[in-house]
């Protein structure tokens, strides 16, 4: 974990509408270079959370900070440093693609050559150059999505908030989008992506957060998921197994009488578990990754099991 300050920080940011809690107090930090995948079933509060992050909505309670500055107190920071793409990119249908980008650029404060250079670069990069004179009202879903993305990227924002950015994109365009987002993150931007496609999260994101019923139920870096293992030993052997595996483990929890959840120390090899147990005379009945797949975790939370447990 880097000690760099968070680019985006939500401090117990909540949203209440007509007496109903749409989003429970949400505390979350995101540093530059991180890509957060935001998951949740329909109505989980994802879009509200994204709109809070993008500065479209102000939190009813708590605060949202961008580089340490409260967005409610300085909404202009949203204009200068946030790129937001809502679901189904909303575009003005009367304008051509080029006019659309120019209009967004001007509203973001870009002028003259800075605007035209940024616009032309994005038209090329997102394969929109052949469409530059086409009216936005005549574009296909995928084309609209690319124009929306270009509008969000035009001013080189330090925070990108994207709601289903892959909507309507063909596989080639989706790959291009991934490459673009990777490059943007490598340049130090923080990115939040809301999607229903778990594979997209696994390929693009460094972290995953799951919202359920308006509350954050899960927030974990993706790369930490495979260092935990579920070890099943002979009945009644869990205490002895714990003692044997202690030198290899960062943390051990006994989940059931004969099953332990073992998080390995850095550098420890999973292949050492079985010989250690066998040498101590503990019968090993099973060894598998303890961390659920993202799909399993999501299903568990969305199904309500984790919600009930917490």
Partner 1 sequence: MSAVPALLRVELRRLLLRPWPWVLAAAVLGWLGWNLLLALGAFLKAQAHLATLPAAPGYTDIVAVPLLAQFAEIALLLTPILSMQTLAGERRAGTLPLLLAQGLPAAAIVLGKYLAQLLWLWLLLALVLLLPLLLAPATHLDYGKLAAATLGLALLLAALLAVGVAASAFTRQPVLAAALALAVTLALWAGAAQGRAPQLSAPLLRWLSLPTHLQPMLRGLVATQDLAYFGILIALALGLAIQRLARERALD
- Give the binding site for partner 1 (CB under 8 A): 17, 51, 54-58, 60, 75-80, 82, 84, 86, 88, 90-95, 99, 103-104, 106-109, 151
Q: Which residues contact 20 (CB under 8 A, 6 or more apart)?
A: none
φ/ψ of 151, rounded to 5, equals -60, -40
CB-nearer residue toward partner 1: 105 or 237:
105
| Shorter beta-carbon distance to partner 1: residue 158 or 237 | 158
CB 168 within 8 A of CB 145: yes
- The least distance separating partner 1 from the CB of residue 16, rounded to whole angstroms, comes to 9
Q: How far is the CB of 24 from partner 1 (least distance, A)?
A: 17
Taking residue 74's Cβ as centre, other Cβ atoms within 10 Å add up to: 14
- In the complex with partner 1, the residue whose CB is nearer, 79 or 178, is 79
Which is closer to partner 1, CB of 9 or CB of 52? 52
Q: Strand 249-256 to strand 215-221: parallel, antiparallel, or no bridges (unpaired)? A: unpaired
Q: Tell me the backbone φ, ψ of residue 212, rounded to 5 degrees.
A: -145, 130
Q: How far is the CB of 106 from partner 1 (least distance, A)?
A: 4
Residue 238 and residue 288 in contact, taking contact as beta carbons nearer than 8 Å: no
Helix (H, G, I), strand (E, B) or coil at 310: coil
Q: How far apart are CA 210 and CA 192, in angstroms?
A: 12
Which residue lies nearer to partner 1 by CB, 25 or 105?
Answer: 105
Residue with smaller CB distance to partner 1, 108 or 242 = 108
Q: What is the CA radius of gyration of the chain?
A: 23
For partner 1, which is the closer residue by CB, 50 or 260? 50
> In this structure, how many other beta carbons lie within 10 angstroms of the beta carbon of residue 165?
27
Biggest CA-to-CA distance, the chain: 76
| Alpha helix (H) residue ranges in the chain | 46-54, 76-81, 97-107, 112-125, 141-153, 171-186, 198-204, 238-245, 273-279, 294-302, 305-309
Question: To the nearest whole angstrom, how small is the minimum distance from the Cβ of residue 92 to partner 1?
Answer: 6
Min separation Cβ 138 and partner 1, Å? 13
């Amino acid at each position: 974990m880097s000690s760099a300050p968070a680019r985006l920080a939500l401090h117990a940011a909540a949203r209440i509408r007509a007496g109903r809690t749409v989003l429970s107090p949400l505390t979350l930090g995101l540093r530059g270079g991180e890509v957060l995948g935001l998951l949740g079933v329909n109505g989980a509060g994802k879009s509200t959370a994204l709109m809070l992050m993008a500065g479209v909505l102000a939190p009813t309670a708590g605060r949202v900070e961008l580089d340490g500055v409260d967005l409610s107190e300085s909404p202009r920071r949203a204009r200068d440093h946030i790129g937001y793409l809502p679901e189904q990119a909303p575009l003005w249908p009367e304008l051509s693609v080029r006019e659309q980008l120019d209009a967004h650029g001007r509203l973001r404060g870009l002028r003259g050559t800075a605007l035209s250079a940024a616009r032309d670069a994005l038209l090329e990069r997102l394969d929109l150059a052949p469409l530059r004179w086409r009216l936005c009202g005549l574009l296909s879903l995928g084309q609209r999505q690319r124009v929306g993305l270009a509008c969000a990227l035009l001013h080189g924002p330090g925070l990108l908030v994207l709601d289903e950015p892959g909507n309507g994109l063909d596989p080639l365009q989706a790959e291009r989008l991934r490459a673009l987002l990777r490059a943007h993150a490598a340049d130090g931007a923080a990115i939040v992506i809301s999607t229903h496609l778990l594979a997209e999260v696994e390929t693009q994101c460094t972290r995953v957060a799951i919202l359920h019923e308006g509350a954050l139920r899960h927030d974990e870096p993706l790369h930490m998921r495979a260092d935990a293992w579920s070890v099943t030993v002979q009945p009644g052997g869990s205490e002895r197994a714990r003692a044997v595996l202690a030198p290899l483990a960062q943390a051990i929890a006994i989940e059931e009488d004969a099953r332990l959840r073992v998080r390995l120390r850095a550098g420890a090899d999973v292949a050492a578990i079985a010989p250690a147990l066998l040498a101590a005379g503990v019968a090993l009945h099973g060894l598998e990754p303890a961390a659920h797949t993202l799909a399993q975790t999501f299903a568990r939370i969305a199904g309500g099991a984790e919600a009930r447990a917490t």
